[in-house]
Amino acid sequence: MSHALKVLLKIIHNRISSKCEANIGDDQFGFRSGMGTREALFSLLVLAQKCYDQQRDIFICFIDFEKAFDRVRHDLMESLRGVGLDGKDITLIQNLYWNQRARIRIEGSISEQIGIGRRVRQGCVLSPLLFNLYSELIFDRSLADISEGVKINGVNVNSIRYADDTVLIADSDEGLQRLLNSVSNTCNEFGMKINVKKTKVMIIKKSKNVPQPI
């Protein structure tokens, strides 16, 4: 990536970051100022402690997405208009990603050009923003009309995310299954794939297997 392109991308990033940030849910802790893995883990711990204090079970699913950053579809960049980005900025981003070509070197031989229709670019300052927006589209669609989750102080919590690391939360096994089914179906539509073997479920009972008090 040339220095001139890096400067251009930084300019675009500075112009669009505030609008992108306003469209990302509070459950996303990845690539955001003042947030990180500690805050995400602390939120989950507090939630579990609250449920324990209220004598409620909590059902948690830790989802592993297979090569999530490589599965972002370029043809869905048009959805950036929905977050209020300027048309010129969207055109620049689309031109950066659309019609990308690559060659593969195998044992000294170079292949014909092949098209690249997925993935965010490695080392690109826009990639974290674009991934978060893409992830937001998936979870907005899959969880918007679902009442499953755990209610704390009147607020329903059903997910905690750090980039592609995702936790689904419910107060029953049936509720957790409905959340997982909805997310899985939407992921299929968007080209994301859940790694079933690495996706795990944890049940914290009100009488045992609870974290230490904070």
What pLDDT does 214 receive?
46
Three-class SS state of 191:
coil
| pLDDT digit string, tens, across residues 45-86 | 999 999 988 899 999 999 999 999 989 887 766 677 778 888
Q: pLDDT digits over 124-142, tens only?
A: 899 999 999 999 999 999 9
Domain range list for the chain? 27-73+120-204
The tally of CA atoms less than 13 A away on the side-chain side of residue 193 is 6
Pick the CATH number of 27-73+120-204 from 3.40.50.300, 3.30.70.270, 3.40.50.10260, 3.40.50.720: 3.30.70.270
- pLDDT score for 96: 80
Mean pLDDT of all residues in 2-30:
90
DSSP 180: H
pLDDT for residue 207:
63
Q: Is 65 helix (H, G, I), strand (E, B) or coil?
A: strand
Q: Both ends of the chain: CA-CA distance in Å?
A: 46
Tokens, residue 17: 């970051």
Residues 6+ apart with CB under 8 A from 23: 83, 84, 133, 136
Mean residue pLDDT across the chain: 87
For tokens 């909805």, what's the residue?
Answer: 182
CA distance 151 to 113: 52
Confidence label for 101 from pLDDT (cuts 50, 70 and 90): confident
